């Protein structure tokens, strides 16, 4: 049994005085753009774009796209016009901010130990910055960004740490491992609370030896204490649970985002390439299946669950659709866009329901007596199953 570690960056692996770092970062960027953009206008656009990224639950747009949709219109410049200046900033100016940070001397020994145990490590930093900036900060912390399986940045992620959906997207991008997981971070509001809402075990980084875990942290201490916590317990202690309402909704939001991230810039041949296992679908077939289940099964189930009494929830055999409907001849990327649109409708339908429906009884064709929350949970389980499948296919085709 292996362990997946989701490690925050600032004030977890890298000591960062954010109260000094953020103003210095904004001022340096404003100075770099000053020949073209007035600093006061740039500050307003930068803050506006960052605020919208924090709030966004748009599963069809990356945070970079959300930011750009606010930032450039407020500056009254077309996207692309500032690219050269911004690239120069992150290549040459941003690295000069390293002095406002310091390496955590406990970080590299902990990470080296974790890798030696065969653990999977993702850098779960708030994806509000571009890859170049995050890579610089990882180097400041003493790491090579390429050594980690996943690093969250705004080019490829759709949610900030404000939302449990961020943590669901991280888990999905890792293939939803059926194994123990720990989210490790220093911020009770952005690292611990949303991760706990998804159902992840959490460890709060606190250098105070007398500290006690807060309400959303399972344990606390420094990185040495985290190692002791792991070594002194059966890893099964860190098994997550995704059965709550908040976890279910987070998964439903995240799945289209995960699939967009996994298939970003995929060539048409890979979409249609059979997996080595003859029992696996191609990616195009998998996405076609998800799209049609969303449209024809999930939407119908939600309509039934809105009824009074105990509705019967049918569940036809949808696995045969891949051959019947000849999914392989479709365009996988277009099918994914159609799936994203169908999932948006699903979420709109769920959010429009009254709170009392979550306990409403129903009868499921496969699972028997059930309730609304459990039926929606089946949708989330179906998501996780097929994200795991997509991840396996892509790993096999590398």
Over the stretch 318-374, which tens digit does the pLDDT of each residue have?
989 988 999 999 999 999 999 999 999 999 999 998 888 888 888 888 888 988 899
Of all helices (H) and strands (E), which one includes residue 27? helix 18-33
pTM above 0.85, yes or no: yes
For residue 147, the SS3 value is: helix
* Cβ 248 vs Cβ 290: under 8 Å: no
What residue ranges of the chain have pLDDT lower than 70? Answer: 1, 277-279
Tokens 């997946």, located at residue: 4
40-53: string of b/e by CB count within 10 Å (b at 16+)?
eebeebbeebbebb
Per-residue pLDDT, 125: 98
Q: Work out the angle between the directed axes of helices 164-173 and 245-262 (0-180°, nearest 10).
A: 50
Tokens 């309730």, located at residue: 371
Per-residue pLDDT, 26: 92
CA angle 57, 164, 184 (to 5 degrees): 135
Long-range contacts of 231-236 (CB under 8 A, 24+ apart): 235/1, 235/2, 235/3, 235/180, 236/1, 236/180
Residues 75, 34: Cα–Cα separation, whole Å: 12
Per-residue pLDDT, 279: 66
């Amino acid at each position: 049994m292996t362990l997946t570690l989701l490690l925050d960056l600032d004030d977890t692996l890298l000591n960062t005085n954010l109260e000094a770092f953020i103003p210095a970062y904004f001022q340096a960027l404003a100075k770099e753009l000053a020949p073209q953009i007035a600093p006061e206008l740039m500050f307003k656009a930068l803050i506006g774009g960052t605020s919208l990224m924090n709030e966004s639950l748009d599963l069809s747009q990356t945070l970079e796209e959300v930011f750009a949709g606010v930032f450039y219109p407020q500056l009254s410049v077309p996207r692309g016009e500032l690219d050269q200046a911004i690239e120069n900033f992150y290549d040459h100016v941003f690295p000069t901010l390293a002095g406002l940070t310091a390496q955590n001397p406990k970080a590299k020994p902990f990470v080296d130990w974790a890798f030696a145990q065969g653990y999977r490590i993702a850098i779960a930093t708030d994806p509000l910055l571009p890859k170049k900036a995050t890579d610089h900060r990882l180097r400041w912390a003493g790491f090579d960004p390429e050594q980690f399986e996943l690093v969250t940045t705004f080019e490829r992620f759709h949610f900030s740490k404000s939302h449990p959906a961020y943590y669901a997207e991280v888990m999905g991008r890792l293939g939803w491992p059926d194994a123990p997981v720990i989210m490790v971070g220093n911020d009770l509001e952005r690292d611990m609370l949303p991760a706990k809402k998804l159902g992840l075990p959490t460890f709060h980084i606190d250098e105070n030896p007398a500290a006690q875990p807060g309400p959303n942290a399972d344990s606390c201490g420094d990185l040495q204490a985290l190692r002791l916590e792991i070594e002194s317990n059966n890893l099964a202690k860190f098994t997550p649970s995704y059965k709550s309402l908040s976890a279910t909704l987070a998964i439903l939001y995240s799945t289209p985002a995960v699939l967009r991230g996994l298939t970003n810039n995929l060539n048409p041949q890979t979409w249609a390439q059979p997996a080595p296992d003859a029992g696996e679908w191609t990616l195009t077939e998998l996405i076609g299946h998800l799209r049609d289940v969303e449209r024809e099964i999930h939407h119908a189930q939600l309509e039934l669950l809105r009824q009074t009494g105990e509705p019967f929830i049918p569940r036809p055999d949808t696995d045969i659709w891949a051959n019947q409907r000849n999914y392989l001849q479709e365009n996988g990327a277009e099918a994914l866009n159609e799936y994203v649109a169908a999932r948006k409708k699903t979420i709109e339908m769920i959010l429009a329901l009254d709170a009392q429906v979550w306990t409403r009884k129903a009868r499921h064709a496969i699972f028997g007596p059930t309730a609304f929350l459990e039926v929606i949970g089946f949708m989330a389980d179906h998501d996780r199953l097929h994200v795991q499948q997509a991840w396996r296919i892509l790993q096999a085709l590398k």
